[in-house]
């Protein structure tokens, strides 16, 4: 999430909140589709990092045996945002969009207005407006139009109408996909290239615990990623508490000897500790993934 600091208004650094977490949802959906449909990989395990990001374990045999050069090529294929902190325009789309970019645009478009205009209210500040203005030739028109409007939604509507107006102004070198480039620059996934191409790079394993937050690195179900809440992910202390509470309630039940016989007691005490906690669903996701892989 740190790599989104230039486009998120709610948090910075390692901090996250419910307003900016949808950036991760968009990234997961775009990359999951590309890895499955464009490259044909099937065994993808998405894991919450425990703090501010997500990891994807691509476990197909073909993927695991890829060379560093091949991994770099995949990252290059998936990378759209290019350029450092001081480069205004970081997305340059070709005249004819690649099918993968079209699919990414569809995913971003579903989330863009709610994420960037409502949750982030990105165009509310002059600084952020200047960032968008700097991307387009014909800046004076956009600058004067932005002064007349107030909300991010109003400014975005002006930008969506800009093509015809700017064309009439005779602006040269204008991108055919200006609106798409803006959406990509704000919402397209930021990839960690070194983690992807480096065969000797350290990786977080599923179910390890983040040392700073105490949260468990749980698998994420792609089908329910929209409802995934990083703040509800269990910590070591919350898991211990859940187990203690479950065991305490079980002891109360066992006291009712006239209701439960000895055979039922022995069954009840064999319940695995994880089944006593909110980790149960996460472990089922992992078991299903491993079963399919095997």
User: Where are the chain's structural domains?
Assistant: 2-197
- Give CA–CA dist 13/8, Å, rounded: 11
Can you read off the two tokens belonging to residue 33? 């589709």
Residues 43 and 53: their CA atoms lie apart, in Å, by 20
pLDDT tens sequence across 17-29: 999 999 999 999 9
Q: Which candidate, 260, 243, 240, 242, places its Cα nearest to that of 252?
A: 260
- pLDDT digit string (tens) for 30-49? 999 999 999 999 999 999 99
Q: Is the pLDDT of residue 252 over 70?
A: yes
The superfamily in CATH containing domain 2-197 is DNA primase, PRIM domain (3.90.920.10)
Sign of CA dihedral 95, 98, 103, 108: negative
Which residues, listed in sequence order, are joined to residue 57 by a DSSP beta bridge? 45
Q: Is the pLDDT of residue 183 over 60?
A: yes
The model's pTM: 0.89
Give me the residue label for tokens 């792609």: 222
Residues in the chain: 294
Backbone φ, ψ for residue 256 (5° rounding): -85, 70
- pLDDT band at 134; cut points 50, 70, 90: confident
Q: Which two tokens stand for residue 191?
A: 């990839």
User: Phi/psi at 192 (nearest 5 deg)?
Assistant: -90, 100
């Amino acid at each position: 999430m740190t790599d989104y600091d230039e486009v998120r208004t709610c948090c910075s650094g390692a901090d996250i909140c419910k307003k900016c977490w949808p950036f991760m949802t968009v990234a997961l959906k775009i990359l999951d589709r590309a890895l499955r449909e464009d490259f044909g990989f099937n065994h993808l395990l998405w894991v919450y990092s425990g703090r501010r990001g997500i990891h994807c374990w691509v476990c197909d045999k073909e993927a695991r045996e890829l060379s560093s050069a091949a991994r770099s090529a995949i990252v290059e294929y998936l990378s759209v945002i290019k350029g450092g902190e001081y480069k205004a325009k970081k997305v340059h789309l070709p005249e004819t969009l690649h099918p993968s970019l079209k699919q990414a645009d569809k995913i971003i478009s579903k989330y863009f207005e709610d994420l960037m205009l409502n949750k982030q209210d990105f165009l509310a500040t002059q600084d952020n407006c200047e960032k968008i203005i700097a991307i387009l030739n014909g800046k004076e028109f956009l600058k004067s139009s932005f002064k007349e409007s107030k909300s991010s939604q109003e400014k975005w509507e002006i930008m969506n109408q800009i093509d015809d107006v700017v064309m009439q102004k005779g602006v040269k070198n204008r991108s055919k996909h200006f609106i798409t480039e803006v959406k990509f620059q704000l919402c397209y996934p930021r990839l960690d290239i070194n983690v992807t191409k480096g065969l000797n790079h350290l990786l977080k394993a599923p179910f390890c615990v983040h040392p700073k937050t105490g949260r468990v690195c749980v698998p994420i179900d792609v089908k329910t990623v929209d409802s995934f809440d990083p703040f509800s992910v269990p910590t070591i202390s919350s898991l211990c508490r859940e187990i203690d509470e479950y065991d305490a309630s079980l002891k109360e039940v066992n006291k009712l000897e006239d209701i439960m016989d000895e055979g039922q007691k022995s069954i009840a005490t064999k319940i695995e500790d994880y089944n006593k906690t909110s980790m149960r669903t996460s472990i089922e996701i992992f078991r299903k993934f491993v079963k399919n892989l095997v």
